[in-house]
Amino acid sequence: MKERYLEVTFRKGRPLAAYLYLPRRSGAKSVRTEKAGRGIVVDFGVGGEVIGLEITAPGAVTVKEINDVLERFGQEKLAAEELSPVAA
């Protein structure tokens, strides 16, 4: 997968969880996770590369908090509109 994308799971019309898929090799799987702040879990691939962010509390996590995590792992920051489905 060459581009990142956000997948949001809704329940009764409200966001329950979200996952930010980051660019990765085809078939890459998570082999390790690490809590990275309030409502954010980082998934790592076999080689230690960051492959995605689990957003376990989408209503409580801010774009700044997500961007702080992305920046810490050398990933491009999100624009606010990229997280807008979570605010729906």
4's tokens: 């990142």
55: buried, middle or exposed (CB in 10 Å: 19+, 13-18, 0-12)? buried
Q: Is the model's pLDDT at 1 over the cut of 80?
A: no
The pLDDT score that the predictor gives to residue 88 is: 58
pTM, to two decimals: 0.89
pLDDT at 75: 94
Take residue 43 and report the two structure tokens written for it: 């998934």
Instruction: Report pLDDT for 24.
Output: 87
**How far is residue 78's CA from residue 40's CA, in Å, rounded to a whole number?**
14
pLDDT digits (tens, 9 = 90+) for 39-52: 999 999 999 999 99
Q: What average pLDDT does the segment 16-26 reach?
A: 91
